[in-house]
């Protein structure tokens, strides 16, 4: 029951209507009988939003999403070394009006991958060089994988490779390099609704020995995932990164073990209400 002692958690973004963080976290709170609530805020001014939140002592934690993951850095009082290295924050704990920032995007991706394989020593191709690619590459290097990046813009690929000391960087036109990889990770928006007919990788470059991870979660079966399945490759669906990243945030906020099966069920039911194949 909500009362004057209820602890409030929120997500800040713009847009925000697509976020499933409230459903996932509230299901977790309910399962553990915690006096907490999670809400979504559409933010037009980050500085003012944070000032207001810091003035409300019941608000204990913030999830940060697009477009604020990098912009929020200058307002953080205590920055986790991982978030500093990645250059982005996606979760903030609040204590005595001080903000402590972490990044769980990389842990969400790594945990999803480790359900399928041991990452250490694997050859991995990361497609894209944006924020998600940075977080995932950080995690892959931490796990001692051998990583190359392919991106439409060669310069961005080069900068990311140098930042994380990757094993190679290429223009996406050279995607035949992917054939020798063990794992392929798409971090771009190619294939996301409404452009579900598109894939960032030509099907000739997908082989049966590959593990293909597409971080897009709408639709559930992207064109890339469909190609990979057709070729006999193992696949990882994008919602897994959302789930495991959310799990880490939940545990950081509450100090409790996340009820992962319950959170996963709520996430799936909201993302794919008519999908029966999960």
Question: Is 177 labeled as catalytic in the residue annotation?
Answer: no
Does 65 belong to an annotated binding site? Answer: yes
Given a contact cutoff of 8 angstroms between Cβ atoms, the answer to whether 9 and 37 are in contact is yes
Does 274 belong to an annotated binding site? Answer: no
Does 90 belong to an annotated binding site? Answer: yes
- H or E stretch at 7: strand 7-13
- Taking alpha carbons only, the member of 148, 154, 153, 155 closest to residue 183 is 148
φ and ψ at 33, to 5 degrees?
A: 55, 45
φ and ψ at 13, to 5 degrees?
A: -170, 175
Does 52 belong to an annotated binding site? Answer: no
Does 248 belong to an annotated binding site? Answer: no
Cα distance between residue 247 and residue 258, in whole Å: 6
Does 55 belong to an annotated binding site? Answer: no
Does 254 belong to an annotated binding site? Answer: no
Does 153 belong to an annotated binding site? Answer: yes
10, β-bridge pairs: 39, 62
Marked catalytic residue, from 69, 223, 240, 247: 69
Does 120 belong to an annotated binding site? Answer: no
Does 132 belong to an annotated binding site? Answer: yes
> Which runs of E-coded beta strand occur in 51-180?
59-64, 78-79, 91-95, 98-102, 123-127, 146-151, 168-171
Does 245 belong to an annotated binding site? Answer: no
- The HSE-up count of residue 44 (CA atoms within 13 Å, CB side) is 0
Report helix, strand or coil for 24.
helix
Which long-range contacts link 187-195 to residues 24+ away (Cβ below 8 Å)? Answer: 187/126, 187/127, 187/128, 187/130, 187/132, 187/133, 187/136, 187/215, 188/127, 188/128, 188/130, 189/216, 191/216, 191/222, 191/223, 191/224, 192/216, 192/218, 192/222, 193/218, 193/219
Does 155 belong to an annotated binding site? Answer: yes
Does 75 belong to an annotated binding site? Answer: no
> Annotated binding residues, as ranges?
19-21, 65, 90, 105, 128-132, 151-156, 215, 217, 238
Query: Binding site for NADP(+): what residues are annotated?
Result: 128-132, 151-156, 215, 238
Sequence ranges of the binding site for shikimate: 19-21, 65, 90, 105, 217
What is the set of active-site residues? 69
């Amino acid at each position: 029951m909500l009362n004057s002692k209820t602890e409030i958690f929120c997500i800040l973004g713009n847009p925000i209507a697509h976020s499933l963080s409230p459903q996932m976290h509230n299901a977790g709170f309910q399962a553990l009988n915690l006096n907490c609530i999670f809400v979504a805020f559409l933010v037009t001014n980050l500085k003012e939003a944070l000032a207001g939140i810091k003035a409300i002592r019941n608000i204990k934690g913030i999830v940060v999403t697009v477009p604020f993951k990098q912009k929020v850095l200058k307002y953080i009082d205590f920055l986790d070394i991982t978030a500093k290295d990645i250059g982005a924050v996606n979760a903030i704990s609040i204590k005595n009006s001080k903000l402590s920032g972490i990044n769980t995007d990389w842990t969400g991706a790594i945990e999803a991958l480790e359900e399928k394989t041991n990452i250490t020593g694997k050859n991995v191709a990361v497609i894209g060089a944006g924020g998600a690619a940075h977080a995932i590459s950080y995690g892959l290097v931490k796990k001692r994988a051998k990583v190359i990046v392919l991106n439409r813009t060669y310069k961005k690929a080069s900068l990311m490779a140098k930042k994380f000391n990757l094993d190679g960087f290429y223009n996406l036109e050279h995607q035949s390099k992917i054939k020798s990889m063990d794992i392929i990770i798409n971090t771009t928006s190619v294939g996301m609704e409404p452009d579900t007919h598109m894939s960032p990788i030509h099907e000739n470059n997908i082989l049966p020995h590959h593990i293909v991870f597409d971080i897009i979660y709408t639709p559930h079966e992207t064109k890339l995932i469909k190609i990979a399945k057709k070729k006999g490759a193992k696949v990882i669906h994008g919602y897994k990164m959302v789930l495991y990243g959310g799990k880490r945030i939940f545990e950081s906020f509450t100090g409790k073990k996340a009820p992962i099966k319950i959170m996963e069920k709520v996430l799936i039911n909201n993302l794919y209400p008519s999908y029966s194949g999960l």
